[in-house]
Amino acid sequence: MIDPQEFARLRAEVEEWVRGPGEDWAERIEETGEVPEELWTELNDRGYLRMAAPVEYGGRGLGFVQWMELMDVFSRSHGSVRMIVHVVNGIWRAMDGHADEEQRKRFVIPAITGEIKVAFTLTEPGNGTGADITTSVEREGDTYYLSGRKHLITFGVRCDYWLLLARLEGSAGGEGTVALMVPRDAAGVTVEDTSNTMGVTGTDHARLTFDRTPVPVGNRLGREGEGLEVFLGGFLTPSRISVAMSCVGLAARAQELAVGYARERVTFGKALAQRQAIQFMLAENQADIEAARQLVLHAARRYEEGAADASLQSSMAKMHAVTMLTAVTDKALQVHGGLGYWKSEKIERVYRDARAQRFEEGTNEIQKTVVFRELLRAAGGLKGAGR
């Protein structure tokens, strides 16, 4: 954690970048449909991709709550800018918690300093995103042979490594899962670019097929059977909080655009902002945004403290923030009237980008399942279960 004065200066710097160069990048990305490597370089050179990492790893050393306050700001930029800073500032945690010293030097620190790009590789086309995965490995000596499919893999095309969850052949459930660092240039891999998405334009996504792809056993993070722990505890809990704060930031941007439009747009001799229907919509938006922000910050504090209910808090925050974002962006677009549907208006891009948050790091249905599971566990489980 850095001191409040230094943090205030850093926040002001990020706000200035988002409103200036960040908007220039947004326009360029929307025009070309691509995120150029120069954007990654600029974000890395400015230190924005290692904000939350420890100083001894080359990071800025922000506390998690401080980092979430900056995610609020970054999320007011283009969806692809937000995606880059969100993923890179978080994926090192999943690796670091189970890496040995040699792996820390090979994978964790280079990911933080920008020498390598790592893609979180969990979701499969025929399964969910947890213990039901079927991508498997067979071990022969010091080599795993990886077979299976993954899809919706963010940065799966341009990465240097896939941080991938698989299971030992013949295992079931959480047992036998392994977390592997799979080189992008490994043999037996087919990479299909599936980047043509509704929003978050320019962020690359991939569908991957592995056909007995060789992966050194030395590229396994943690022990056999700890794969789910690497992915769920090491990444998803803080990442859900980060996505929740992304919802808050994007909603704040939508609100800003709606208020600005309502002040300027005149119909029948009156500004929209003078009409009670519009006033009520914007007042509701503001209250909903602030309520979500405080819930997310509470979840961030619980995670930073290492609290037992951090997983519960992260899913509640993500669930609530997504619902809020959906309502706020819909009303913000409505304030713009028909013009908001046109790509000439920034609200159109915000509206498209917002839809991605509904499934990122798990749908609301998944979050509700997690919340109820934790709620039931705290209550002592089902009465009479197992009898």
Rama region for 221: left / alpha / beta (φ>0; ψ in -120 to 50; rest): beta
Phi first, then psi: give them for residue 286, nearest 5 degrees.
-65, -40
Report which of 202, 292, 251, 236 is spatially closest to residue 86, judged by C-alpha positions: 236
CA distance 99 to 106: 10
CA distance 222 to 202: 33
Q: What is the DSSP letter of 148?
A: E
Q: Is 205 helix (H, G, I), strand (E, B) or coil?
A: strand
Report which of 350, 377, 366 is spatially closest to residue 318, judged by C-alpha positions: 366
- How far is Cα of residue 128 from the mean position of the Cα atoms in its chain? 17
Greatest C-alpha distance within the chain: 79
DSSP 264-307: H-EETTEEGGGSHHHHHHHHHHHHHHHHHHHHHHHHHHHHHTT-
CA–CA distances in Å: residue 347 to residues 85, 151, 337, 350: 22, 29, 11, 5
Q: Are 293 and 344 in contact (CB under 8 A)?
A: no
Q: Are 180 and 215 in contact (CB under 8 A)?
A: yes
Structure tokens at 141: 């000596």
Which residue among the candidates 124, 229, 360, 361 is catalytic per the annotation?
Answer: 361
361 is catalytic: yes
CA distance 101 to 176: 24
Q: Are 14 and 74 in contact (CB under 8 A)?
A: yes
CA distance 41 to 19: 19
Q: Are 221 and 99 in contact (CB under 8 A)?
A: yes
Residues recognised as catalytic: 361
